[in-house]
Amino acid sequence: MTCVRRCSFLLLLCCLAGLLPGPVAQAAEPGVLRVLAWPGYADPDVVRGFEQRHKVRVEVTLIDSDAALWQRMSASGGKDFDVFAVNTAELQRYIDGALAQPVDPAAIPNISRQLPRFRQVEAIPGLVRGGQVYGVPYTYAEMGLIYDRSQFVLPPDSIQALWDPGLRGRVLAYNGGVHNFSLAMLSLGSEQPFRIGAEQWRSTVERLIELRRNVLGFYAQPEDSVDLFRRHRVALMLANYGTQQLRLLRAAGADVGYVIPREGALAWLDCWVVASGARDRQLVEAWLNYMLEPEVSGLLVSRQSLGSTIAESAENRPQDHLRWLEAVEDVGRRERLWVRVISGDRLARVLAP
């Protein structure tokens, strides 16, 4: 046999050997799902259940701010993760940046478990573009009103109560410019609280100055609000953290109620989104479906006091009007003017260039 023929023969044997199973063949490495999420969304026991069911490994990376989420996703053009959780107000820039892919609802059977308000995706701002759905609603929290039952004959039913002079010094509000400008717009009857027109800034700032004069103070963290509420016998609080604050107050022994005002409550909605760098679409869809199982979704309620998209909250009613957060017209201006408002500046100074 010539050298050329012998080399060809050996090459053929090597190719055939690679196709045949044998004792030296190695088992295929299990699939890996790369998840980017907020704390409490993918706890170890939840992840372990998914891994065991699908015989895969899940790598979870946690973030604690919208800025950190954007940095992680944008650093690699979305290639470092398969699926991530983001709120609908932020989702648009991920779509614009080609960091997110459309979702195929037909591939996620458990979507049928969701409450009607979450299945009607066209009614959720920022979730649909070009007729395609870009996220699966997962959890939410609304900014309702917490009130001391002993100080109200009837529960307050409007955000106007925050401005009630009869409650002056017994009201708590959240220290956040973006949300508070939207709140002021709602109190003025606006149906577009996330878009302040040029002619509306003056009246909105006036409204916030009135709020500053009526409240005991502004809190930042839920624990701070609980301490202030109990020490100063507060009557009414805008609950920026929703039912999380309600649970903390009740655990501390406070006799409090919770209502969604008739004007509606500002609310954030987090969705699971398919990253542009997703490597195994079927595995991602299995994860999305798993997240909507009752046992998994229920942990958001029991552990985090967050809302589940597949079961009504005891504090909410189907007819409650939740106003999902949207991107606002000018974050920088809202925050800049808010600093002036809470510093005690008068209207002319607040509105100065």
Residue 239 belongs to some domain of the structure: yes
Domain match, 179 and 296 both: no
CA dihedral of residues 89, 94, 97, 100 (deg, nearest 10): -150
Domain match, 245 and 219 both: yes
Domain match, 230 and 332 both: yes
Domain match, 128 and 146 both: no
Residue 16 has pLDDT above 70, yes or no: no
Please, what is the angle between helix 44-54 and helix 294-304, to 10°?
A: 170
Q: How confident is residue 312, by pLDDT bands cut at 50, 70 and 90?
A: confident
Domain match, 296 and 345 both: no
Domain match, 163 and 241 both: yes
Q: How confident is residue 30, by pLDDT bands cut at 50, 70 and 90?
A: low
Residue 107 belongs to some domain of the structure: yes
Domain match, 259 and 277 both: no
Residue 243 belongs to some domain of the structure: yes
Residue 303 belongs to some domain of the structure: yes
Note the pLDDT of residue 29: 53
pLDDT tens, position by position, 178-190: 999 999 999 999 9
b/e burial code for range 147-159 (CB count within 10 A of at least 16 → b) = bbeeeeeeebeeb
The number of distinct structural domains making up the chain is 2
Question: Residue 116 is part of which domain span?
Answer: 32-134+268-317
Domain match, 84 and 225 both: no
Domain match, 259 and 187 both: yes
Residue 273 belongs to some domain of the structure: yes
* CB contact at 8 A, 168 and 145: no
The CATH number of residue 154's host domain is 3.40.190.10
* CB contact at 8 A, 92 and 329: no
28-42, 56-70, 226-240, 293-307: lowest mean pLDDT where?
Answer: 28-42
Domain match, 252 and 272 both: no
Domain match, 229 and 337 both: yes
pLDDT tens, position by position, 226-271: 999 999 999 999 999 999 999 999 999 999 999 999 999 999 999 9
pLDDT tens, position by position, 102-154: 999 999 999 999 999 999 999 999 999 999 999 999 999 999 999 999 999 99
Mean pLDDT for 266-290 is 97
* CB contact at 8 A, 210 and 163: yes
Residue 7 has pLDDT above 50, yes or no: no
Structure tokens at 309: 């998209």
